[in-house]
Amino acid sequence: MATSFTVDRPGGPAADGLPVGSAAQRWILRAVAICADPCQIWFLERMTDRSGPALHDDVEALIARGALADSPGGLRPGSVELRDAVRRGIPPSLLAALHNRAAGVLAAEARPVAAAEHLLRVLEVAGRVDVPLVSRLVADPAVDPSTAADLLLAARAGRDPGLGPELRRDWALAAVDHLMLAGRIEPALAILGDEIAADRAGSGYRALLLGRLGAWYATGRPSLAFDYLDRALAQPDLRPGQRSWLLTTLAAVAGRLGRPDVDSLLAAADRAQAEAPTPDGEIRLALARAGSALAGGDLPAARQVLGQVDPSAPAARVQAAFLRVERIGCQLASGEYEEAGTALRFAEVDLGVLGGAAQPMLAALDCRLRVAVGDLPEASARAGLALRHCPTGQLGDEVHAELLAVRVEVAYRQDRPDSARELLAGVETPVDWPDSVAWVRLAGAAALDPEPGRHAGFLRAAVDALARSVRPLLLVPQQAPALTRAALLLGDPHRAHQLADHLVRIAQRVDSGLWWGVAQHVAGLVQRDPGLLHGAVAQLRTTSARPVLADALHDLAGTPGTGPAEARRAAEEAAALYGRLGATGDQERAVRCGRALVASDRRHRGARRGAGCDALTAAETRVAELLAGGATKQQAAASLFVSFHTVDAQLRAVYAKLGVRNRLELARLWSARENPTPASPAPDEPIRPNPAPDDPARPTSTPADPAQPD
């Protein structure tokens, strides 16, 4: 429709050139025009304080004249051009009033996202804001963190005299929290830097700013996190609420990293939260307790603590993403892969609420899940996409190392060591605690290198970090045997035994087939005990962890002391399983292992057979020579003047001593003898005639027919 359409009214067209009509119709048209989505009648009733036929008649008149278009979804302006013209024609003060009223109406009708969009328009136009409404909307979980941060920043920068200095400071801290959740790290750090430099509100506010820096570095550089949080707690004149926030935050960071004083920190945080409760203090305490339990391998305790927290509660807003990630991680660590996959799909749907910072964390969990169940090529592809598409500033060290570890592990398993080493060479990995904890999973992937000496320092640092916190190992059970093998190859049995101890502790606390299987696998490698490896395979068959099972089978096949038949079967099964997983390099190694076992078995069997010839009695030698030369049992019996049954019994003894199964193998072995024994009777064992009827060697069954087949 053309923008020249007008609605007649007494007095002629409006001076602004917009469609005109009655004042009520103009208000309706403007209310519809400022909305991004189609409007329902209830919205217009609330915006105009009118209802019933009077409102409906005005709406119908506007529809009839083309000013409004109706649809099942609601009302909208008759055209885009008309909508834009109406918006341009609204005076700024009236436009701010319209958006402000719309925000209040939508907020009252539990539509916080649309309400926040209108409130942002008010701030753009007028710079004044409804303070209680802003506070209400930014705390609503339905409003995504990025929009909440924009609301807080716009309100804080506005000209509203109702915003006192203290509220501006509180909103600055809240804006930083939401920016970080949204993955907008640079503006968050810029605010913190500006506020710290301004130093406008004393030591308590400065402590909270330092605390935010510490919280950000928790998954990047934990040493910096501890430094900032310890400095914050050392600030003078802290109020109880400020001290409570800092202690609960520090405890949450210390718990997951296995800081030695974590128990005393938890106790202090408990007391501080009880004395001066903070809105999300209980959530941080729950994360601290769960992190401490996971650091010690107590997965059931961590799950119990996390299960008592409601991640949808308003107080959990800032911590909701971390709660979801920890819960899904616990499912993965428990081997509940199907449940973890379902939880990941739900989390991806809720990504707008959780915030952009959750996306790389969820991507890392998804990749780790795919590795655990054996979808290796897809896991590597997704990890590569996540690394390329996530801005570097959004990736803390832990998530970066996790995504990189997936790509490195798959590269080694696909016999692409140069690609894996190139990936490893591109990062600078710390070797000192606590920063080394974030890189343990990458070290576990590096342990698959056929030349572990290339990464000796990195691998030793990772094992040492596990003495503080085994949490990094819980999501990667297949890396525990890899680290153990690497430690043994590096001539470091002490660290290999340490790993075995860690795994036993985890298995005792988790008590699942997955972790008992991994614990037995590691113990079998350390002790070179095929019985333990056999037990590991039996346990791991009850799980869906395919790479873990394939590795255990491969190690069982290659361990001295495993029976030849069992070793061959294990190597063949491992090769087949690796093939299904896409681990082509592991598959080829298992195939080579199987071939070597077959060749070795043949050599040993040949040696045993050669030695067995000397063990034959003279009578057995004569029988063996005749039958190897092509005679039947009946012909051998007639030639040697013994019964058919005597020849049959002696032939069975020959088979057993020589390790052969049939006449063909006997013939081959006999022809390979360098010095065949002559068929003449030995002086110490004369040829016996046919046994008398009362001879105890004679069978009680009826003599065989001479025509019986051999």
Question: DSSP string covering 191-218, please?
Answer: HHHHHHHH--SHHHHHHHHHHHHHHHGG
Domain spanning 477-613: which superfamily?
Tetratricopeptide repeat domain (1.25.40.10)
Rounded distance between C-alpha atoms, residue 286 and residue 292, angstroms? 10
How many CB atoms within 10 Å of residue 222? 26
Joined tokens for residue 71: 């649809």
**Closest Cα partner for 213 from 227, 197, 203, 199?**
227
Rounded distance between C-alpha atoms, residue 509 and residue 488, angstroms? 26
Domain with CATH 1.25.40.10 in the chain: 477-613
Domain 617-710 is found in CATH 1.10.10.10: yes
pLDDT at site 39: 92
- 223 has a pLDDT exceeding 80: yes
Rounded distance between C-alpha atoms, residue 316 and residue 283, angstroms? 6
Q: Report cis status (omega within 30 of 0) of the bond before 703.
A: no
Of the listed ranges 183-197, 340-354, 628-642, the one predicted with least confidence:
628-642
- 174 has a pLDDT exceeding 70: yes
Domain with CATH 1.10.10.10 in the chain: 617-710
Percentage of the chain with pLDDT > 90? 60
DSSP codes, 271-317: HHHHHS--TTHHHHHHHHHHHHHHHTT-HHHHHHHHHT--TTSGGGT
How many CB atoms within 10 Å of residue 209? 24
Tens of pLDDT, residue by residue over 569-592, are 999 999 999 999 999 999 999 999
Rounded distance between C-alpha atoms, residue 444 and residue 52, angstroms? 70
Distances, alpha carbon 321 to alpha carbons 41, 315, 401, 460, in Å: 37, 13, 19, 32
Joined tokens for residue 125: 């136009």
- 123 has a pLDDT exceeding 80: yes
- 635 has a pLDDT exceeding 50: yes
pLDDT at site 20: 53
List, in sequence order, every residue forming a beta bridge with 77; answer none if it has no partner.
68
Residue 199, C-beta contacts closer than 8 angstroms, at least 6 positions apart: 206
| Contact predicate 547/478, CB 8 Å | yes
As a three-state string, the secondary structure of 472-495 is HHCCCCCHHHHHHHHHHHCCCHHH
Joined tokens for residue 710: 């051999």
- 656 has a pLDDT exceeding 90: no
pLDDT at site 603: 62
